[in-house]
């Protein structure tokens, strides 16, 4: 659905119009995977507008919420259809921290551009991250934290991956307003980011540019 009205309406953050168009396309028998791709393109455009300074965090949050609504509408139609993904990511807010707004935004954007994301929620232990990585075979781990005490939990998680023999095959990115290069070095993570678009770029880098 190149140049689809769905793509444009989502990029313009027009919630109801986007939802109505998706329902209309489903009723018309359009392939749900094709509709999903149009939605993803809309998210990509939102990210580009953010990078250009045309959009700010409120627009990113709203776009993520719209995409989540669209996903729920499309889920029954997708059924057993296999949607090609760019990669698999395990994500969560580390133990001792219950902030989730930033995490939810990043996850929505990642899903929107084609990544399969397993969200473990907040206050997630190192052991929970390890278990989910083993279950899913994910090669990217996203650790979120908005308070300084999350540094130690991130470090513990990275160390737990090493003990489980997963460190060599899993790339780890940390995110949150308090993250910087020093925190990355302290925790042993591979990279850090401060906004959703940076998270997408990091995942693309980890997956070889996809």
Does residue 83 lie in a domain region?
A: no
Characterise 40 by phi-psi region: left (phi > 0), alpha (psi -120 to 50), beta (else). Answer: alpha
Mark whether 125 and 163 lie in a shared domain.
Answer: yes
| Rounded CA separation 54/18 (Å) | 20
Q: Terminal CA-to-CA distance of the chain, rounded, Å?
A: 20
Crossing angle of helices 126-136 and 150-163, rounded to 10°: 40
From first to last of its 210 residues, what are the pLDDT tens digits of the chain? 557 999 999 999 999 999 999 999 999 999 888 898 899 889 889 888 988 999 988 898 898 889 889 988 988 887 655 566 889 999 999 999 998 877 888 888 888 788 999 999 999 999 999 999 999 999 999 999 988 989 999 999 999 999 999 999 999 999 987 899 999 999 999 999 987 778 888 998 999 865
Q: Domain ends where: 58, 78, 98?
A: 78
- Structurally, the chain folds into a number of domains equal to 2
CATH of the domain at 27: 1.10.1240.10
**Is residue 124 domain-shared with residue 196, that is, in the same domain?**
yes
- Rounded to two decimals, the pTM is 0.75
* Of the residues 28, 54, 78, the one at which a domain ends: 78
The residue segments making up the domain with residue 39 are 5-78
């Amino acid at each position: 659905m190149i140049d689809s009205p769905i793509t444009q309406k989502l990029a313009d953050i027009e919630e109801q119009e986007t939802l109505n168009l998706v329902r209309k396309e489903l009723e018309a028998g359009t392939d749900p995977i094709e509709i999903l791709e149009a939605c993803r393109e809309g998210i990509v455009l939102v990210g580009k507008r953010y990078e250009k300074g045309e959009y700010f965090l409120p627009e990113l949050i709203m776009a993520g919420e719209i995409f989540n609504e669209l996903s729920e509408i499309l889920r029954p139609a997708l059924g057993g259809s296999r949607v090609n993904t760019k990669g698999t990511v395990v994500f969560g807010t580390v133990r001792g921290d219950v902030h989730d707004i930033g995490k939810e935004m990043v996850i929505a954007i990642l899903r929107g551009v084609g990544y399969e994301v397993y969200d473990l929620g907040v206050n997630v232990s190192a052991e929970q991250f390890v278990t989910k990585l083993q279950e899913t075979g994910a090669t990217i781990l996203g650790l979120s934290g908005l308070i300084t005490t999350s540094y130690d939990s991130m470090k513990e998680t990275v160390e737990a991956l090493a003990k489980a023999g997963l460190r060599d095959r899993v790339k780890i990115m940390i995110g949150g307003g308090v993250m910087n290069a020093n925190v990355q070095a302290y925790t042993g993570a591979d990279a850090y980011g401060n906004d959703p678009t940076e998270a997408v770029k990091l995942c693309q880098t980890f997956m070889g540019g996809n």
